[in-house]
Amino acid sequence: MAKTRPPKKILESYTIKGSDKVIKPGDCVLMRSVDTSKPPYVARIESIEAAGSRGTNVRVRVRWYYRPEESMGGRRPFHGSKEVFLSDHYDVQSADTIEGKCNVHSFRSYTKLDSVNAEDYFCRFEYKSASGSFVPDRIAVFCKCEMPYNPDDLMIQCEECSDWFHPSCIGMTIKEAKKREHFFCQSCTTEGHGKTAENSHEATAQSEEKPVESKRRRR
């Protein structure tokens, strides 16, 4: 005998259990992993619905963010500790698994945060879960080591060529790099004039771009 399903009710918001935090479609959340030793999953809420007749049994349709560890290529040296990839993997989950809200920033706004809190993440790639490929598939690389920028690592900028360098790649300590007022890389010869080198995290337009995939085997 066919069961009659109660009609689904689309909800505009949902209050996370045990908290006063309200989530809406478009918000990013942390969801409990079945394996409690693992960090929570990061997801974007697409829609919220109640399957129960009285607005109970709330389910959320989510689009998963993958952590670098969850991608086919795994975590690579340039991946930030708070980096996630927006995947093409959708799911419907019980709203009970939502632990809390989080913020997934763009790369640029993440690097401009005054302080990074536990709930701050950033995303600069979309990830195709079936093929393991990334969009964009090219990324700017910096330094002698030709690595994409990892916002967790301090870099120092050459005033002449505007390339960015890891202190360790140019035989400098982080302390020295922070103190340094002017910096010219090895390939840029004599002293320039003018502006002070900044330890800002901003990427420059002059940077070279490399395919994301070919970096996989570099160690």
- The residue ranges that bind Zn ion (CB under 5 A) are 143, 145, 158, 160-161, 166, 169, 185, 188
Q: Which residue lies nearer to Zn ion by CB, 129 or 168? A: 168
Give me the least distance between CB of 68 and Zn ion, in Å please: 19
Q: Which residue lies nearer to Zn ion by CB, 59 or 76? A: 76
Q: What is the end-to-end Cα distance of the chain in Å, rounded?
A: 60
Give me the least distance between CB of 196 and Zn ion, in Å please: 15
The conformational region for residue 74 under phi > 0 = left, psi -120 to 50 = alpha, else beta, is: left
Give me the least distance between CB of 185 and Zn ion, in Å please: 3
Give me the least distance between CB of 170 and Zn ion, in Å please: 8
Give me the least distance between CB of 95 and Zn ion, in Å please: 44
Q: Which residue lies nearer to Zn ion by CB, 94 or 187? A: 187
Q: Which residue lies nearer to Zn ion by CB, 27 or 83? A: 83
Answer whether 39's CB lies under 8 Å from 48's CB.
Answer: no
Q: Which residue lies nearer to Zn ion by CB, 44 or 215? A: 215
